[in-house]
Structure 1
C-alpha cells in the first residue's frame, strides 16, 4: 500500500480528481501508527474515504492550501504529535533549534499555534467547507485554559480558530462517525451529538442534562473560579461517568460532549492492522522522530497513574485499552521483515507499559471513579494487579525468529509493580527487557511535593530500588536505575529542593538532565502553577515563579557541576542551610568555588554513571568505567 498523496500530482497519479478530506498537519508526513495523522487517515481510508496529506504547508502562501482543490467533505487540521508551543519553546521560553518532527530536524516549518493559523487560512479560502480540528493541541485546549507562553487564560481553541468542530481524545471512532454524518448530507453545525467532540452554539434549548461551568470571563477574572472550573473538568474525563460540560462565552456556548468510549480490543487490533508504511514519506531526507518509534509497538492506551503534571488522562482517559497478543505478535513479525531491522524491538508499551488491563473490574461497566484515584494516595482496594497478560505478550514477541531483544522503554509504574505479589514479571523484566538501565520516575523525594504530584512516598521507591538491586544480584545482571526527577513542581520550595539534593548526595548520583516543571494545558499541576491553589482541596500551594528560584532548584539537583556553584551557594544561604557549605561529609559544596578546569562537565557525567552502578550493587565499578570509556572512543 502506497503513502497517501502529499501533492496534487500524487493525488492525480493515484486516480483522484477530488478527495473526501484534506488533512493539514503541522508535522512532516510519517505513516507510522505512533503518529495521529497516520492513524486517522488510514482509518478513514479503511472505511472508504479518500484523504490527501498537506504536511507543514507554508502558511504565507495561499497556493499551498489551494493545491488539492476543494475536498468533498472537509478539511482536518492538527498541529501534530506534540503541542506546537512545547515543540517550539523550552520551559525558559527560549526558542528551540531542533524540531524532531520536521525534515532533518529543521526548526521553523510550522507557525506557533498552527491549529489556529491553518484553520483561519482555510476558513478564508474555503468559507463554505467544514474545518474540523483535532490532535493533542486541540484536545488539551478544548475549553478555556491557562497558557504558559502568554501567561494568561486563553479561550477554547474552538473559539480562537473558528473551526466548525473540535475532536478530542483518541479519535478513530469519532472521525468515522463524523465522516459518515457529513457524507449523509448533514451540515457541520448539526454534528452536536457525537462523543469526543466540542461544538459551539448560541442557544442551549436542545440540551437537557449538562453541567454549566463558570464563563470564560469569570475564570479569566478570578483564579479561584478557574481552579473550581478546572476541577469539574478533571472529574469529567471518563467516557462512562462524565457529564456534558458547557462553558459560556460572550454570546456563545462551547459544549463538550462526553469523551469517546475507550476502544475495545477488537477496535484497537483493527487500528494497528492497517497498512502503514512505518516510515516517513520518501520526499524527506530524514525525520528524527521516527528513530524511537519505528521498531516500537503500542500495546495499550490510557493511564490511571494520577500524575498531576501529566495530561495523558485529560487526552486518553483513565481506563486502559489494550490489544490482543495475536495483534501485537503480528506487528512484531512485520517489523522483523523491514530491511533496516537489526533484531531489537525498542519498546512494547504505551503511556505506562505495565498497565495491561483496567485498574479494576468495575471500570468496565461504570468507568473510572470521579472522586477516587486508583493508585494515589494509596492503591485502591478494588485495584487488580496482574502482569500475566503483558508477560505472555513479551514472551511471545521475544521468541520470534530474527528478534534478539525486546526492550521496555516507555516506562513502568514501580508502585503498581510493587503491589504484585507474584515476582514473575519483575524477574523477567530484569533478565530480558532492560537495556542496561531502567528508567523510572520517582520525580522527587519530599513528601509534600510528592503529594502534590500524585506520586507515592519515597519509602516505596527506596524499597523498589533495593528489590531491583537484589534481582540483579540474583540473576547476575549488571544493570542500574536512572530516576527521572523534576524541579520546581508546585509544592516544591527551596527546602524541598535541598532535601532532594541531599538525597542525591547520599546515593552518589547527579542527574545528567534535569526536568524543570513545564506548565502545559490539561494538567492539575498547571492549574496549581497558575492559581496557587490545589484544585482538589482549594488550599494554597507554594509555587516557584521567579526565574532565579527555578534556576536555583534546578542547580541544586546538579550541585556537583562547577558552573552551578554560585546558584547553589545562593540557594543554601537564602534557605538558611549554611551547614551544607563546607568540607563535611554531608556538605553539598565547599567554601571555595571549584575550578571548571579541574572538574569538567564531561567528567561529572562519567562519575554519574559509575555511581549509578554502585547504587544497584555493582561490584565491578572500575571495569564498568573502563567499558564506558572504551565505548565512547
Structure 2
C-alpha cells in the first residue's frame, strides 16, 4: 500500500503491482487480497494501490515501477453498477469504500486505471481482470450508454485479459513473464483473452467454424393468415435457394470412444467466429445469436475458442478455465490472510467488510443459469467446493482471531447456499453437456441433489466449541432444497435467525420462463415445508422473498 511498508520489508521494488477500485481488505472475499496472497505464496513481491486518485498519474507511481506487470481490477463489482442506480443516478454511498464514501472510483475503472498505469510507466505489461473485465470481454450491450460497446481490451489497451476464476492462469502467466517470455507471445492459456490481427491462428492445424454451425440466428417471418383457404401465390411453396444434391460419401464406422476422442481433438484446434462488433451493434438478431453462442461455449469440458472481429483486429478468447479441484480451493482459502482492512483505514466503517467479516465462503460457481445473472458466466457452471476440514479451520480462525466475535457465523455459503458438493453424476456427461442450466426447465436427471454432505458440514460447524450459532445468509435455491426434506428440516431448525432469504423473483410463468427460473409451485412447496418445520421447532420464522 505504501513505500514505507516496502522499505520495512526490505523491498526496493515490487514484482507485480495490483490496482483496485475497492478499499484493501485482506480477506479471501475480496479479489485483490486473494490474488495478492496467491502470488505472494509463489514467491513474488506484490504491491497494492487501492482507490487511487485517477485524475493524476502520480498515485500510480507511489510504489515505483513493477518488475513484471500491472494487474488491474475495478473491484468486486462492475464500477458502473457500483456507482450508478438503475435510474442512472449516482449512488449516495459505496459499500467498498471507507465510511461508505461515494465517488472514490472512476466510471469504467478497468479502462481508466489501465490507461493511467501506461502513462505512469510505458512499456510495462498490463493485465486486466475482475467481473468488470470478464463480462466485457467481447462486444456487449452497455446499459449506461444504451449502446453496444467494443471489448474492454480495445478501450483499456491491455496486453491480456484474464476472465473468470483466474488463479491458474495468473500463476502460469506470472511464471512465464518472470522467465523472460514476452506477454505478447502468451496465447495458449485457458481463461485469457487478447487482441490479434484479423485472421490470426495459433498454427496451420487450426480451423475456423462460423458461429452459425453452433446456433442458427432467428428470422422474423411474416405470420400466415390462419383463415386463408389457399396460397395467393403458389410460388411461395418453392424452396428459396434450393441446395444441390449432396455428394455421396462412404460411411466410416467408428466406435463411440473413437468418435468422442476425434471430436475432442477437433474442438481443441477449432475456433468459432462470432459475428463482428460492427454486425452485432447494428442487428439485434445477430447480437442475440452471438450471445447464445457465447453461452453455449462456456463449459470447460467442451468449449472451443471464440474470436470476434472489431474492425481490422480480432478479440480472441481461449476456452474457460478448468474448475479448481478441492485441494486447490483449500490452498487458496488457507493462505495467511490478515482477515481485516488495511491499518491505514483506522476505525473507518466499511460496509462490505462488516457484512462478511463473520462469514465463510464454502464454494464457487452456480449451475442455475438464470438469464439475468452473471455468476454462471463468471464463476462457471461447475461447483467448486472446499473440504470440510478447510471450512472448519476457517471457522476456528474467526473464533480465535477476529475482534469482537460473539460466537455467531453469519453465513456458510457462496453464490447459492445449497449447491455445496452438488455435481453431475457422470464426469463424462458433465464434460460433454451443453445445457445452459442444470435446473431449468426441470432439474436434470444427471444432477446429484443429495444434500447429505452439506448437512454433515452444518452439524460439524455448529459443534465447534465457542460457536453459538451458524446462520445461512446466502440465497437458497429452493427447487433443490425441496428434493431433500432432511436438509430443509436441518436448515429451519438450526440455521435460520428468524428470517430466510429466497428468490422466487416473480409469480407469473411467462416472466419466470424468460428468467429461466422455476415456477411458483416450487416456492409454494418450500414455503409449506418451511412453515411445517418451523412449527415443529417451536420457532416463529419468516421467508423474505426477493
TM-score range, shorter chain: 0.7 to 0.9
* Cα offset, 1:372, TM superposition: 5.4
Equivalence for 2:227: none
Correspondent of 2:201 among 205, 230, 252: 205
Deviations 1:503-533 (A, max 9, x none): xxxxxxxxxxxxxxxxxxxxxxxxxxxxxxx
| In structure 2, distance between residues paired with 1:294 and 1:339 | 10
Deviates more, 1:474-483 or 1:132-141: 474-483
Q: Is the 8 A contact 1:304 1:359 kept in 2?
A: no
Does the alignment pair 1:460 with 2:530? no
Q: String of CA shifts for 1:477-502, please: whole Å, max 9, x gaps.
A: 11011111xxxxxxxxxxxxxxxxxx
Query: CA-atom RMSD, angstroms?
Result: 1.2
Q: Could you say which residue in structure 1 is the equivalent of 2:426? A: 362
Q: What TM-score do you get using the length of structure 2 for normalisation?
A: 0.86
Deviation at 1:232, TM superposition (A): 0.2
Distance 1:114 1:357 in 2: 35
Structure 2, unmatched stretches of 5+, are 207-269
Using the size of structure 1 for normalisation, the TM-score is 0.74
In the TM superposition, what is the alpha-carbon distance from 1:391 to its structure 2 partner?
Answer: 1.1
Q: In the alignment, what sits opposite 1:451?
A: 513
Which of 286, 309, 324 is residue 263 of structure 1 equivalent to? 324
Instruction: Indicate the residue corresponding to 2:386 in structure 1.
Output: 323
For the residue of structure 1 that corresponds to 2:460, the secondary structure is helix
Q: Please say if residues 318 and 368 of structure 1, whose CA atoms lie closer than 8 Å, have aligned partners that are also in contact.
A: no
Secondary structure (helix, strand or coil) at the match of 1:101 reads: coil
Say whether 1:442 aligns with 2:504: yes
Check whether the contact 1:195–1:260 (CA below 8 A) recurs between aligned residues.
yes
Partners of 1:319 and 1:363 within 8 A in 2: no
Residue 304 (structure 1) aligned with residue 367 (structure 2): yes
- 2:526 counterpart SS class: helix
| Per-residue deviation, residues 521-573 of structure 1 (Å, max 9, x unmatched) | xxxxxxxxxxxxxxxxxxxxxxxxxxxxxxxxxxxxxxxxxxxxxxxxxxxxx
How is 1:64-463 mapped onto 2 (pairs within 5 angstroms)?
64-202=59-197, 203-206=199-202, 208=206, 209-284=270-345, 285-337=348-400, 338-363=402-427, 366-367=430-431, 369-371=433-435, 373-420=437-484, 423-463=485-525
Supply the distance in 2 between the matched residues of 1:7 and 1:431 (Cα, whole angstroms): 48
Distance 1:418 1:363 in 2: 25
Measured after TM superposition, the shift of residue 361 of structure 1 is 2.2
Task: Name the SS of the counterpart of 1:428 in structure 2.
Answer: helix
In 2, the alpha carbon distance for the partners of 1:7 and 1:372 equals 45
Superposed counterparts of 1:458-537, under 5 Å: 458-484=520-546
Could you tell which deviates more after superposition, 140-149 or 197-206? 197-206
CA contact (8 A) 1:99 1:105 kept: yes
**Per-residue deviation, 1:368:** 6.5
Aligned-partner SS, 2:19: strand
Q: Paired residues, what number?
A: 477
Shift of the alpha carbon at 1:464? 1.4
CA distance in structure 2 between the aligned counterparts of 1:294 and 1:390, rounded to whole angstroms = 22
Deviation at 1:307, TM superposition (A): 1.3
Query: What is the distance in 2 between the residues matched to 1:406 and 1:319?
Result: 26
Partner secondary structure for residue 166 of structure 1: strand
Q: Relative to structure 1, is the Cα distance of residues 364 and 18 closer, same or farther in structure 2, using a 3 angstrom cutoff?
A: farther
Unaligned runs of 5+ in 1: 1-5, 485-633
Aligned residues of 1:88 and 1:96 also touching (Cα < 8 A)? yes
